[in-house]
């Protein structure tokens, strides 16, 4: 907080407290003008309820002073006057850190027990699976769906078709470091609409579509432009995250329109990194959970 605002807030708070003390003391001494104590004030409600000029009970007044004393004590103990940190040294961030520390101390022994376990064994351990499942529910379902079946652009993690692979090392990298897919914009290289249409047909022919003359006319182009990433047979390459184009499983979709869109506009799917959030042990538990989905 800049110095000006520190003083503004601190002085404002102190002046306000002093004003409260003055107001209560002053108003305790006030009564209606020209009316003796213990006499009727002259106000009447509902015909028969009348107001007497009695001072407020002393205990009521003391309550006010007690709350003010409490506030002053609070302001000395806790951060409440601008930049002043309070005598107890409490802070919101500090409380959060302490709670995180306590949680880590509680859970870390459990995670460590699993960290020492073999990956495949871990993927079959009921306790680890329950942990993995709850981590998945908290952090992954927004994109991959509560059943892990994904949606267009968000891969299905239950179908055993892996863009980036499902070995222990590959899953740890995917979840820990994230993945950035780069399918380039290739329309300009395909020589106009007819070239694009033929390439779409060729891609479809790889997964059982008709391999007619138009489709096959795009094969040399596929070898020149696409095979570096998708492989000469179109079966994909895990190093680039290039999907297998010969199965019936599509990340974005296998219709003529969608394949066309992929080739014309390119695709840049991004799986965010979670390593810093989870740490090594939880990343491994989650990777084993993902692995178990297709075993």
Residues that bind ligand HEC (CB under 6 A): 139-140, 142-144, 153-155, 157, 162-164, 171, 174-175, 179, 181-184, 186, 199, 203, 225-226, 228-230, 240-243, 245, 250-253, 259, 262-263, 267-272, 274, 286, 290
Q: Please give the Cα distance from 124 to 135 (Å, whole number).
A: 16
Please give the torsion angle defined by the CA atoms of residues 200, 203, 209 and 212, in that order, rounded to the nearest 10 degrees. 70
Q: Please give the Cα distance from 101 to 111 (Å, whole number).
A: 15
Are the C-beta atoms of residues 53 and 39 closer than 8 Å to each other? yes
Closer CB to ligand HEC, 128 or 263, in the complex: 263
Other C-beta atoms lying within 10 Å of the C-beta of residue 160: 11
Are the C-beta atoms of residues 156 and 148 closer than 8 Å to each other? yes
Phi, psi of 82 (to 5 degrees): 60, -125
Closer CB to ligand HEC, 131 or 140, in the complex: 140
Closer CB to ligand HEC, 122 or 242, in the complex: 242
Q: For residue 279, what are its two tokens?
A: 């740490």
Q: How far is the CB of 74 from ligand HEC (least distance, A)?
A: 41
Distance of CA 17 to the CA centre of its chain: 41
Q: How far is the CB of 83 from ligand HEC (least distance, A)?
A: 38
C-alpha closest to that of 233 among 218, 246, 248: 246
Closer CB to ligand HEC, 81 or 148, in the complex: 148
Q: How far is the CB of 188 from ligand HEC (least distance, A)?
A: 11
Q: Please give the Cα distance from 164 to 155 (Å, whole number).
A: 11
Closer CB to ligand HEC, 6 or 260, in the complex: 260
Closer CB to ligand HEC, 81 or 186, in the complex: 186
C-alpha closest to that of 239 among 186, 145, 162: 162
Closer CB to ligand HEC, 124 or 292, in the complex: 292
Q: For residue 256, what are its two tokens?
A: 């003529």
Q: How far is the CB of 274 from ligand HEC (least distance, A)?
A: 5
Which single residue brings its beta carbon nearest to ligand HEC? 269
Are the C-beta atoms of residues 10 and 24 closer than 8 Å to each other? no
């Amino acid at each position: 907080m800049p110095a000006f605002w520190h003083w503004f807030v601190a002085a404002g708070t102190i002046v306000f407290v002093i004003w409260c003390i003055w107001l209560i003391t002053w108003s305790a001494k006030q009564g209606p003008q020209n009316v003796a104590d213990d006499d009727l004030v002259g106000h009447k409600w509902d015909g028969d309820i009348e107001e007497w000029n009695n001072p407020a009970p002393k205990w009521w007044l003391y309550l006010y002073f007690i709350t003010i004393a409490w506030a002053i004590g609070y302001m000395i103990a806790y951060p409440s006057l601008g930049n002043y940190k309070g005598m107890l040294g409490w802070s919101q961030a500090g409380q959060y850190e302490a709670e995180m520390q306590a949680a880590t101390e509680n859970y870390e022994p459990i995670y460590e027990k699993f960290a020492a376990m073999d990956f495949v064994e871990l993927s079959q351990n009921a306790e680890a699976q329950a942990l993995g499942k709850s981590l998945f529910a908290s952090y992954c379902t927004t994109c991959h769906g509560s059943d892990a079946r994904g949606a267009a652009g968000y891969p299905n993690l239950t179908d055993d078709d892996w863009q980036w692979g499902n070995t222990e090392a590959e899953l740890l990298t995917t979840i820990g470091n994230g993945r950035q897919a780069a399918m380039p914009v290739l329309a300009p290289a395909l020589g106009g609409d007819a070239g694009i249409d033929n390439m779409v047909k060729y891609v479809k022919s790889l997964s059982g579509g008709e391999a007619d003359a138009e489709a096959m006319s795009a094969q040399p182009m596929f070898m020149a432009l696409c095979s570096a990433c998708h492989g000469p047979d179109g079966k994909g390459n895990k190093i680039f995250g290039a999907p297998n184009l010969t199965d019936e499983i599509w990340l974005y979709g296998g219709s003529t329109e969608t394949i066309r869109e992929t080739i014309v506009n390119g695709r840049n799917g991004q799986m965010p990194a979670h390593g810093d959030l989870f740490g090594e042990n939880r990343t491994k538990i989650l990777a084993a959970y993902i692995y178990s989905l297709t075993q």
